[in-house]
Amino acid sequence: MERVSECRVLSSILEEAPRCRFTCSAKHTTPSFIDEREDVPSPKGCLVAHTALSLMETQNLVTCFKKPFHRVIESNKPKELPKISSDELWNVALTTPLLHDFGKLADEYVDRSKKRRVYFGHHRLSAIIARKALSETSHDYIAVVVAYAILFHHEALDWRSIESSIFTFNYLMKVFAEDVKYTVADDRLKLFGSNLDELLTQLYERGLLSIEQHRFLSQISTRALRELLRNRSVTLYVKEVLDVTKTKKPNVTAPAFFLYRLLYLADNRAASARSQYWLGSLRNVNWDNVEKVAEQIYRALTERRYYIGLSAIPEAID
- Give the residue from 95, 27, 112 showing the smallest Cα distance to 55: 95
- Give the residue from 113, 195, 125 showing the smallest Cα distance to 157: 125
Confidence of residue 316 (pLDDT cuts 50, 70, 90): very low
Continuous segment of H or E residues that includes residue 67: helix 62-76
Q: What is residue 315's predicted lDDT score, i.e. its pLDDT?
A: 37
Strand partners, 42: 35
Q: What is residue 273's predicted lDDT score, i.e. its pLDDT?
A: 85
Q: What is residue 69's predicted lDDT score, i.e. its pLDDT?
A: 93
Q: What is residue 226's predicted lDDT score, i.e. its pLDDT?
A: 96
Q: What is residue 282's predicted lDDT score, i.e. its pLDDT?
A: 61
**CB distance 224 to 51 below 8 Å:** no
Which of 268 and 72 is assigned the larger pLDDT? 72
Please give the share of the chain, as a percent, with pLDDT higher than 70. Answer: 77
- Does the pLDDT of residue 162 top 50, yes or no? no
- Distance between CA 128 and CA 150 in Å, rounded? 9
**CB distance 110 to 45 below 8 Å:** no
Q: What is residue 56's predicted lDDT score, i.e. its pLDDT?
A: 94
Question: Within 10 Å of residue 119's Cβ, how many Cβ atoms?
Answer: 12
- Which domains does the chain carry? 5-274 (1.10.3210.30), 275-318 (no CATH)
Confidence of residue 140 (pLDDT cuts 50, 70, 90): confident
First to last CA, the chain: 45
Lowest pLDDT segment from 36-40, 169-173, 247-251 = 169-173
- Label residue 15 left, alpha or beta by phi (over 0 means left) and psi (-120 to 50 means alpha): left
What are the backbone angles phi and psi of residue 34, rounded to the nearest 5°?
-110, 125
What mean pLDDT value characterizes the chain? Answer: 81
Which of 38 and 95 is assigned the larger pLDDT? 95
Give, in degrees to the nearest 5, the angle at Cα 120 between 227 and 149: 60
Q: What is residue 178's predicted lDDT score, i.e. its pLDDT?
A: 79
User: pLDDT tens digits for 16-70?
Assistant: 888 887 677 776 689 888 777 666 677 888 999 999 999 999 999 998 899 999 9
For residue 82, what are the contacts with CB-CB under 8 A and spacing of at least 6? none
User: pLDDT tens digits for 181-222?
Assistant: 999 999 999 999 999 999 999 999 999 999 999 999 999 999
Q: What is residue 314's predicted lDDT score, i.e. its pLDDT?
A: 36
- Does the pLDDT of residue 303 top 70, yes or no? no
